[in-house]
Amino acid sequence: MSELEFWRDQHAAGRISRREFLARAGALGAGAAMGTAMVASVEAQAADMPRKGGTLRLGLAGGSTTDSLDPGSYTDSVMIDAGHAFFNALVEWGEDGKPHPSLAESWEVKPGATEWILNIRKGVTFSNGKTLDADDIVYSLNMHRGKTKSGAAGPFKAVADVKKLAPSQVQVALTGGDADFPYVLTDYHVLIVPNGHTDWTKPVGTGGYVLETFEPGVRITGKRNPNYWKSNRAHVDAFDITVINDSSARLNALMTGQIDAMNRVDAKFVALVKKNPKLEIVRASGGWHAVISMMHDRPPFDNHELRLALKYGIDRERVIKALFSGYATPGNDHPIPRTDPYWNSELPQIKYDPDKAKFHLRKSGLTSPPLVLQCSDAAFSGAVDMAQLFQESAAKAGIRIDLKKEPADGFWDNVWLKGAFVTSYWAGRAAATQMLAVAYAPDAPWNESHYKSEKFAKLLAEARAETDEAKRKPMIWEMQSLLYHDGATIVPVFRDWLDAHNKNVGGHTPHGGFDMNNGWIVEQAWLKA
Amino acid sequence: MLRLIGQRLGLGLLTLVAASVLIFAGTEVLPGDLASAILQNTATPESLAELRQELGLNRPAAVRYFDWASHAVVGEFGRSLASHREVVVEIAPRLRNTLFLASYAAIVAVPLAVGLGLMAAIWQGGVYDRAVNFATLLTISVPEYLVGYILIKYFSVRLGWFPSLANVTPDTPLLSRIWLTFLPMLTLVLVVIAHMMRMTRASVLQIMSSPYIEMAFLKGLPKWRVVIRHAFPNAVAPIISVVALDLAYLIVGVVVVEVVFVYPGLGQLMVDAVSKHDVPVVQACGLIFAAAFILLNMAADVLAILSNPRLRHPR
């Protein structure tokens, strides 16, 4: 984006005035006519300007009667969207893929990226009247460390110490360098609560909304916090989240106007939604990807040629068409999506090629390797269908795969990380190095493919400690290439996030991280008149 | 009479205990446990161990069962393992919703089914009889979620008369509650009506072949009067038992309808609880369902006895 366009968007978003915009445009050498034309286009969009008021009604999948308001316990959309209305994060993951300051006004990193200083925003108060200070930050970060059941316990293992330096300054020390540490702070579990808070039935946060009613698995409502510190957010007066796990019921509710917006439109229904003049799809390609993981160290998958045969033996395009109605992009057997700034654009896309698969199978020297793919819809809805498509396309290349359907119950406990050939998924991470670390670092507890490459580990450690973008890029590209050539994970597809809303909703925008504005829908959306 | 009822009650309690053991055993043999169900693939061995410790999952199954059972006897169902809320608090509003929807459907379905059945018996073999038989067989043969979606398509999407979401809250006033739950009620009515209607028709027709009915005709009574005054009272016992079964179904078997209309009833709660291995909630739901079945069947027995003079006044 050119600088001029940037200022135009700033003006459009109401962050700078018309006069200021024209001054900036002038300074950039744009002619008066051009600047004025841009102002006109902005004013034409004025209908899209945030408007205050109203109740935003969301119908969301991903809620259960076992939900709790404790941020560490969030696993799915309903609690994530509600939690982000009540609490703030230190750092937010912007639509541009970059970390943006929130409760952490700014941060500094020491060389080597092991020590981070966070400067805490001043003058922010919690809904109980307490003023935010460093102690609250230390407490909130420590909720994910040590003896904890937090979902962010994994990424926080790298945190060696959290220390208060001054009333509004916190230092975080890491066990190893991580230039992407601000992204760890954008994790949806890492929300800020007051020091010592334990009663999760009564959430106290600095967020744009305060809790009104909470019936786990049924609905959550909240009303606007009149003292919210962000002036350009929290537009609606109240929100009302109804848990609707059934995808047809969700769409029915949207079509009959009982809700304003919904998440996870079934890809099969997208065409139907597009036909409705009142509705709109919000599509974001992102980091969520399906996975078929083999164990790199377990026969027969320790055979490089067999792995290649299987990689060529899956018809990715068919999976995309059959399972996602086209709303997905083919994966290249590494976990970095095209939307990531560090995506390696030079690796050729692996395509279904029965001849190549046959060739590599012959080269592997294995005549009929026992291939039992353990699949379950617990991995993701459609995983069993994907496995069946894989079985079919591989059979055409002379590779016989047997499917073992595992019960959804206990799948994560008994099959995942235990089976040598299983279906699974990853929700994607904000930073490429995070995603590479969580599932492919030799010592990662969730390294499902047992991929243990010293070269990869070294590159990863270097890339994480490197703060110079120009030097990091080749390292991250190299890691993708390693997984592409030698990895034991098949990444058939990256799925798009598909939300939908009534056209009277503004500010509901695509985000590659997660559905519903990466969880910030409540404070970012508004209702048009 | 009283002895008979007492006997039934005792047997019912025994059945209840057996049911609770079965439900507990059922949740035990499922693979995986609550801790891994909650954490999914964000689990680390440490966080799993921590959560298991906190939930008391590391005690033997028998100990956990008796611990629970001894508390349940005095009305303490404990706390949900997953949400830490009192099970009673969790269940009460859902149970109210389930009972509301069941009664709403029953109030509409039972008189309607019996009325339709009686008319079918009066005009036996006629066009009406065949039409009503065909229509009710059709609605019972179509899966209930499809009935629900068809109703939503016409009454909600096309006509906009009724909402597709039955999202009631504890403070929804009665009238809007009736309006919000109209479509789920109608779905349930369509599902249960055939059963009761056909039983009414069949048992009335069976009585119609008795000699005393012939006598009534010979007296010159009109057919509707014979059916309603003379045949129906004697045909009531089998109808009651079918009605009881259908009422029990309305309470325990409506989870699919709850999902389609997003109605916060007990069925959905139990499904969630089973998938999360939240045993206290599963047990409590299971007990309520078992109790509903047992009570309704007992009530049917007692009513059948009352409706039969020979059983009412034993020699």
Q: Report pLDDT digits (tens) over A402-434.
A: 999 988 777 887 888 889 999 999 988 889 999
**Chain A residue closest to B30 (CA)?**
A409
Closest residue, chain A, to B51 (C-alpha): A149
User: Over the stretch A284-299, which tens digit does the pLDDT of each residue have?
Assistant: 988 999 999 999 999 8
Q: Which residue has the tokens 């966070």?
A: A118
Determine, for residues B41 and A65 on separate chains, whether the beta-carbon distance falls below 8 Å.
no
Cβ-based contacts of B160 with chain A (< 8 Å): 256
Task: Show residues of chain A in contact with B263, CB under 8 Å.
Answer: none
The pLDDT value recorded for residue B1 is: 66
Give the pLDDT score at A371.
Answer: 92
Whether residue A243 and residue B272 make contact (CB cut-off 8 A), yes or no, is no
pLDDT at A9: 55
Record: contact B268-A258, CB cut-off 8 A: no
pLDDT tens digits for range A39-50: 444 444 545 689
Of all residues in chain A, the one with the smallest CA distance to B256 is A246
Angle at A192 between CA A191 and CA A196, to 5 degrees: 125
> pTM for the whole thing?
0.81
**3-class secondary-structure state, position A356:** helix
Asked if B167 and A242 come within 8 Å (Cβ–Cβ), the reply is yes
Give the mean model confidence (pLDDT) for residues B79-92: 78
Closest-CA distance, A153 to chain B, in angstroms, reads 8
Chain B nearest CA to A77, separation (Å): 15
What was the pLDDT predicted at B61?
75
* Chain B residues whose beta carbon lies within 8 Å of the beta carbon of residue A147: 46, 50
A–B: how many Cβ contacts below 8 A? 136
> b/e string for A132-151 if b means 16 or more Cβ within 10 A?
bbbebbbbbbebbbeebbbb
Flag whether pLDDT at B310 surpasses 80. no
Residues of A within 8 A of B30 (CB-CB) are 407, 409-410
Element (H or E) spanning B97, and its range? helix B87-122
CA A430 to chain B, closest CA, distance in angstroms equals 16
A119 three-state secondary structure:
strand
Q: Please state, in angstroms and as integers, the Cα–Cα distance from residue B55 to each residue in A39, A149, A216, A399, B50, following that order.
A: 60, 12, 19, 46, 9
Q: How far is B45 from chain A (nearest CA, A)?
A: 9
Tell me if A258 and B163 make a contact (CB, 8 A cut-off): yes
Is B287 in a helix, a strand, or coil?
Answer: helix
- Give residue A24's pLDDT: 57
Q: Which residues of B touch A412 (CB under 8 A)?
A: 32, 36-37, 39-41, 43
Which of A68, A409, A424 is facing B31, going by the closest CB pair? A409
Separation of alpha carbons A466 and A180, rounded Å: 9
The closest CB to that of B165, out of A73, A242, A411, belongs to: A242
Interface contact A409-B30, CB threshold 8 A: yes
Q: How far apart are CA A425 and CA A460, in angstroms?
A: 22
Contact A412 B33 (CB under 8 A): no
Neighbours of A287 (CB within 10 A): 24
Mutate to test the interface with A, among B181, B259, B262, B275 (most CBs of A within 10 A): B262
Q: What pLDDT score was predicted for residue A329?
A: 94
State the smallest CA–CA distance between residue A409 and chain B in angstroms: 6
Cβ density class B170-187: b for 16+ within 10 Å, e for less: eebeeeebeebbbbbbbb
Average pLDDT of chain B? 81
Return left, alpha or beta for B49; rule: phi > 0 is left, psi -120 to 50 is alpha, else beta.
alpha
Report long-range pairs for B168-173 (Cβ below 8 Å, ≥24 apart): B168/B97, B168/B263, B168/B264, B169/A213, B169/A215, B169/A219, B170/B93, B170/B96
Q: How does residue B314 score in pLDDT terms, banded at 50, 70 and 90?
A: low
Instruction: Output A12 or A145, whichever has higher pLDDT.
Output: A145
Of B46, B156, B167, the CB nearest to A219: B167
Contact call for residues A506 and A489 (beta carbons, < 8 A): no
Residue A484 CB neighbours (<10 A): 17
- Residue A5 confidence class, pLDDT cut points 50, 70, 90: low
Strand ranges inside A236-303, DSSP E: 238-243, 261-262, 279-294
Rg (CA), chain B: 24
Query: Using CA atoms in the order B204, B206, B211, B217, what is the torsion angle rounded to 10 degrees?
Result: 40
Give the best residue of A157, A218, A247 to mutate against chain B (max B CB count within 10 A): A218
Residue B47 has its nearest CB partner, among A153, A253, A256, at A153
Q: Which tokens go with B276?
A: 């999360």
d(CA A341, CA B97): 51
Q: B303 CA to chain A: closest CA distance, Å?
A: 38
Instruction: Please determine, for residue A4, whether its predicted confidence score (pLDDT) is greater than 80.
Output: no
Nearest-neighbour CA in chain B from A521: distance (Å): 21
Contact A217 B268 (CB under 8 A): yes
Choice between B108 and B55, residue whose per-residue pLDDT is larger: B108
Max mean pLDDT among A174-183, A437-446, B7-16 falls in A174-183
Indicate if the alpha-carbon torsion angle B195, B198, B202, B205 is positive or negative.
positive
Predicted complex ipTM: 0.74
Distance from CA of A387 to the nearest CA of B (A): 20
Helix extents (H) in A256-353: 270-275, 304-312, 316-324
**CA atoms of A271 and A391, how far apart (whole Å):** 29
Using CA coordinates, name the residue in chain B closest to A75: B39
CB B162 within 8 A of CB B205: no
Q: With contact defined as beta carbons under 8 Å apart, do B20 and B286 qualify?
A: yes
Q: pLDDT of A308-317, one tens digit each?
A: 999 999 999 9
The verdict on a CB contact (< 8 Å) between A242 and B54 is no
Taking an 8 Å cut-off on Cβ atoms, the answer to whether A149 and B269 are in contact is no
The Cα A439–Cα A446 span in angstroms is 5
Going from the C-alpha of A126 to that of each of A70, A72, A113, A131, A142, the distances in angstroms are: 16, 19, 31, 6, 19
Strands A402-405 and A372-375: parallel
pLDDT value of position A40: 47
pLDDT band at B233 (very low <50, low <70, confident <90, very high): confident
CB contact under 8 A, B47 and A150: yes
- Chain A residues within an 8 Å CB radius of B91: none
Residue A271 pLDDT exceeds 80: yes
CB A18 within 8 A of CB A492: no
Mean local confidence (pLDDT), B118-131: 85
Closest Cα in chain A, distance from residue B189 (Å): 20
pLDDT at residue A43, rounded to an integer: 47
Contact B50 A147 (CB under 8 A): yes
Fold of B91-312: MetI-like fold (1.10.3720)
Q: Say yes or no to pLDDT of B37 above 70.
A: no
B40 — pLDDT class (breaks 50, 70, 90): low
pLDDT of residue A1: 40
Q: Please give the residue that has the higher pLDDT: either A479 or B130.
A: A479
**Residue in chain A lying closest to B155 (CA):** A256
Q: What is the chain A residue with the closest CA to B55?
A: A149
A196/B169: higher pLDDT = A196
Position A331 pLDDT exceeds 90: yes
Cβ contact (<8 Å) for A215 and B42?
no
Give the pLDDT confidence score for residue A47 in this predicted structure. Answer: 52
Number of other CB atoms surrounding residue B225 within 10 Å: 11
Spatial CB neighbours of A441, under 8 Å, sequence gap ≥ 6: A447, A456, A457, A460
Chain B residue nearest residue A215, CA to CA: B90
Whether pLDDT at A262 is above 80:
yes
Q: Which of A158, A167, A178, A168 is nearest to A116 (CA)?
A: A178
- The confidence score (pLDDT) of residue A129 equals 92
Residue A44 confidence (pLDDT): 45
Contact B42 A253 (CB under 8 A): no
Q: What pLDDT does A119 receive?
A: 95
Residues A382 and A363: their CA atoms lie apart, in Å, by 32
Q: How far apart are the first and last CA of chain B?
A: 12
Q: Which among B38, B42, B167 is the nearest to A66, CB-wise? A: B38
Closest-CA residue of A relative to B263 is A218
pLDDT of residue A3: 53
Per-residue pLDDT for A11 more than 70? no
List CB contacts (< 8 A) between B165 and chain A. Answer: 59, 242, 244, 249, 252-253, 256, 258-259
**Span A97-111, average pLDDT:** 92
Q: What is the mean pLDDT of residues B184-207?
A: 87
Residue intervals in chain B for CATH 1.10.3720.10: 91-312
Residue A473 has pLDDT above 50, yes or no: yes
